[in-house]
Amino acid sequence: MSVELKRAAMKYERFAALRGDQLPCGIARYFPVDAGLSPGEIGCYASHLAIMQRVAVGDFPSPTLVLEDDVGLPDDLATALDALVAVLPEQWDIVRLSYPTKLLARPIAKLGDDRSLVRYSRVPTTTGAYLISARGARKFLAERARYAPIDHDLRDVWAWDLDTYGVSPALIAHDVLGASTIDALSPQGRADLRRRKRRAALVERLKRGVRDFGLSRWLAIGPLNFAARITPKSLRPSFVRWANRRLA
């Protein structure tokens, strides 16, 4: 990744991952002893929080591009990021860059010939690459105990009031190693996580969807996403592109 960033003439800082069993006090307070997370999950989550702390206080510029070490970068990364920042609204929190969503996303603005700034109908579960503002970092640093892996908490944008956008098709290749944090949870941990999420998800997803898409578009999202899921894989990209144009 260092070679790719240098080729793109981008300044960067490599951040050493934190260990889940050796956290600094300013981070450890987020993780109660009954959090139910593995040391690896805590370390991953804590590393992102530590970066966000530096973004929030201005040690890193806002916006900051955060990259995990298992992503692949495109040749036009710097140009694409310039185009992205140019079309973002004045107030935003986070832009997800590394998930090729298979569900519908509403195009907001064009980013060159083949990419768009979008609102997701389902926010993706990944932390591979994202652009975050100081405002977004401060929101996610709210003094709350963390009981789920970070990719799940960042997906539940309503819990933090994160004004979330994405780029579609994804700008950055994600999860090169193919790992998922939920796979590391015990069966009981997975069940507890699902129960916690279900309690809040339905109403909050509806509120966010109506805000981002409008009522009529949001009512159409469910049937269209269902149709996307049952469409043969060979035809699904064409169907999703057609449906996204209908939402524009």
Q: What is the pLDDT of residues 115-130, one digit of tens each?
A: 999 999 888 888 999 9
17: domain CATH number?
Answer: 3.90.550
Range of the domain at 206: 2-247
- Domain tally, the chain: 1
Q: What is the pLDDT of residues 222-240, one digit of tens each?
A: 888 888 888 888 888 888 8
The C-alpha atoms of residue 126 and residue 179 are separated, in whole angstroms, by 10
The C-alpha atoms of residue 93 and residue 49 are separated, in whole angstroms, by 15
Residue 2's pLDDT band (cuts 50, 70, 90): confident
| Segments in the chain forming alpha helices (H) | 2-7, 25-28, 39-57, 77-87, 134-140, 150-155, 187-213, 215-230, 236-247
